[in-house]
Structure 1
Amino acid sequence: MKKLFLLLNVVIFSLFIQACTDHLEPVSEPRSFSSEPFVTGLKYPIGMAMDDVGNLWVTEAGSGSGTDGSVAMITPSGHKTTFVTGLQSLMREGSIEGISHLVYKNGKLYFLHGSNGMLYTADVAGFKPGDAAVNLSDIPSQDLGTFVRSLALTDPLNSNTYHLTFGPDEHMYVVDAGSNAIIKRDKGTGALTLFAHFPNVAQNVEAVPTGIAYDGNRFLVSTLTGFPFQEGNAKIFQVEKNGTVSEYKTGFTTLTGITLSANNKPIVIQHGVFGPQGFGAKTGRVLDENGKTLLGDISRPTDIIRANEKTYFLLSYADGTITKLSY
């Protein structure tokens, strides 16, 4: 009887160890992505986020003239419903811009209008496919741009609140591409402070941060770089919890977004290679942290997010599409 009891304990312990080992086994990093179309017909999409039930929320820059910048919800089956429109759409240096990126947390959607420096906080918990769009005037907003310009980080003064995430103690951290900075927004009071400032990536070439991700210990930030967008000038910076900035990886070109793999490794997107006629056709790429191409021949990507361990979604600004990536 004692032997049987001992044998059962050994079996149970072995199963426990195996279960723990299986659980702790790391997810493999992508070596390449396969892609399939998911959504088409978007109006110059910029940013993308996913909510708790798998809906994608996407910002669309619009026509470049007027107030048709918008935010839309897209269901897992690809059905699109406009959540809000009426945001200013601008044409600047050949690109349509205005509204920028967004993030979802606990039933609320936070989205930025970079050109106007505004942060909007929308309650989307009850919004359903097919619902009528809400009024922009009914969404609470906060002016970030005025604060950024007051810091006088650039000459002439510049601000473009572009990307955002949540970090330590659930405070919000906003990347400003115009001032090459990260602004911290206090969770409780909404108070704004300068958290970090990025150095030039080359002589007289600004960093132009475009994406931010928090891995639980530090922030990782992608950079576009300023004109003339030379190949190899873009970097991934790391920013410690105290705001200290250092280089993480170098040698990239025109990065416009960053996400983290299941193992918290950065995956970035190259907007394109810039030449006499602007960004070359199909020169966008998805890259790992070492610069290896995971997917090429992309038209000016502006965002990438991870949906689960091995599935990602990619935005193409030029094609107006969302593509599903997997490996």
Structure 2
Amino acid sequence: MNSLGAVVLGFAVCASGWGQSEVLVTGLQGPQKLLMTPQGNFLVSETSMEVNAGRISFVSRAGTRRSLFEGMPSGTEVAGGGSGPSAMALRDRTLYVSIGGGDTERRDTTGASIHNPAGISSPIYSSVLEVHFNASVDSLTGTFKMTPAQQVALSDGETVELVDGAGGSASVSVLVDFPNSIMHPLTKYKFSNPWGLALSADGATLWATDASQNSLVKINTSTGRWQRVVRFPALRNAGAVGPPLIDAVPTSVRIHGEELLVSFLTGFPFTPGYARVDAVDPSKKTSSPFIYGVSSAVDVLCRSKSDGSTQCFLLEFSTNQSAAQPPPGRLLRYDSPQPEVVLSDLRAPVSLAFDETAQELFILELSGRLLKLPVH
């Protein structure tokens, strides 16, 4: 087990008068999404520009880390960062993991999107994996290692059996294999990038956001059959920099009563104030404003307080992502339509988790940190 330290290594500035946030873990590898386990520990999806270096880490509440999965698909995406394991959803002993577009997309000399002429490093990019463990994820103590040959077997429709060297086993299969791309009149192709997941309470439906296809997808977990429920339209660019239309770029999806809350990063030039959160009615396939006028929104999380009122938290990746030196990200709190800044110097925050019992909020940063914040 690789201990990353439970010692407080620093604090984030709290602008709201709440207690300071504690740094629980540092050194995570390109972290993407955060998921709390039934016993209050964490799974963190991590990616890399290195081929097949994607992993999922198990992080204990005490702040120690070990690899739950290694050797997962990863590669350099079109903008130069890492792409691989992303969103996760867990029910009982079944874990769902989305795999991003990886190195499937490149640009030609005109700037149009094309398939990588050098080939791709994994056949299971743009997919959702289904993993069945032989025990609860909190009780597993070893590491499952995936090989390139097993990735090929998965793409062929096989179920791959893995062992972790400590008595744990996992059956892995591809639940959904999205097309790597579809034709597009403006960019030649639109590539897939499944980015957010939310699982219904009964486990029958998995909701996925596709950050590149600008869509919300409904997946039947029994059959793998999927349907695009909503395509989010592009925004008109009112500024002088960038294309005339800006992609919506949906990031996270959360179940909120009968609706789904979807946050939007927006595409280049990442205009401050253009990002938002929509409330989607999946039965009517419509969306309406929920939170607007924010910047580079990457996650939203709402809860019911003890007095019955609703409180929401929103993460901004940066308050001006396209600046030469982008300013830090923020955590906003909504007890009313007017937000309050809770944390103002986050290092590229990407994901949230909330522990209702302990009344603690956890914030994952692309910098490799996991923060803990008392909530009241």
The TM-score normalised by the length of structure 2 is 0.72
**Which residue identity lines up with residue 83 of structure 2 in the other structure?**
E
Distance in 2 between residues matched to 1:96 and 1:41, nearest whole Å = 16
State the secondary structure of the residue aligned to 1:189. coil
1:241 Cα deviation after fit? 3.0
State the secondary structure of the residue aligned to 2:233. coil
Conserved? CA contact 1:81–1:129, under 8 Å: no
Distance in 2 between residues matched to 1:109 and 1:32, nearest whole Å = 34
Q: Please give the per-residue CA displacement for 1:267-289, whole angstroms capped at 9, x wherever unaligned.
A: 11000122343533xx1111124
Distance 1:299 1:134, change over 3 A: same
1:31 Cα deviation after fit? 7.2
Query: Where do residues 15-54 of structure 1 align in structure 2 (5 Å cutoff)?
Result: 32=18, 34-54=20-40
Distance in 2 between residues matched to 1:293 and 1:72, nearest whole Å = 30
Pick the aligned partner of 1:77 from 55, 59, 62: 62
Match in the other structure for 1:8 = none
The TM-score normalised by the length of structure 1 is 0.82
Q: Please give the per-residue CA displacement for 1:79-103, whole angstroms capped at 9, x wherever unaligned.
A: 2221111123333424322221111
Q: Which stretches in structure 2 are left out of the alignment for 5+ residues?
A: 1-15, 102-124, 151-159, 161-171, 238-244
Match in the other structure for 2:177 = 144
Pick the aligned partner of 1:198 from 216, 225, 232: 232
Match in the other structure for 2:288 = 246
Distance in 1 between residues matched to 2:73 and 2:325, nearest whole Å = 24
Query: Where do residues 182-197 of structure 1 align in structure 2 (5 Å cutoff)?
Result: 182-197=216-231
Match in the other structure for 1:21 = none
Distance in 2 between residues matched to 1:168 and 1:31, nearest whole Å = 35
Q: Which has the larger radius of gyration?
A: 1
Aligned length: 293
1:210 Cα deviation after fit? 0.3
Conserved? CA contact 1:168–1:241, under 8 Å: no
RMSD in angstroms over aligned alpha carbons?
2.3
Q: Please give the per-residue CA displacement for 1:234-287, whole angstroms capped at 9, x wherever unaligned.
A: 01111013121122121000011122223454311000122343533xx11111
Provide the identity percentage: 23
Q: Please give the per-residue CA displacement for 1:19-67, whole angstroms capped at 9, x wherever unaligned.
A: xxxxxxxxxxx974531111111111000111211120111113x1221
**Which residue identity lines up with residue 311 of structure 1 in the other structure?**
E
Match in the other structure for 1:159 = 192
Q: Which stretches in structure 1 are left out of the alignment for 5+ residues?
A: 1-29
Match in the other structure for 2:205 = 171
Conserved? CA contact 2:92–2:136, under 8 Å: no
Conserved? CA contact 2:352–2:362, under 8 Å: yes
Distance 1:78 1:233, change over 3 A: same
Match in the other structure for 1:99 = 85
Distance in 2 between residues matched to 1:171 and 1:56, nearest whole Å = 23
1:78 Cα deviation after fit? 2.0
Q: Which has the higher helix share?
A: 1
Conserved? CA contact 1:177–1:209, under 8 Å: yes
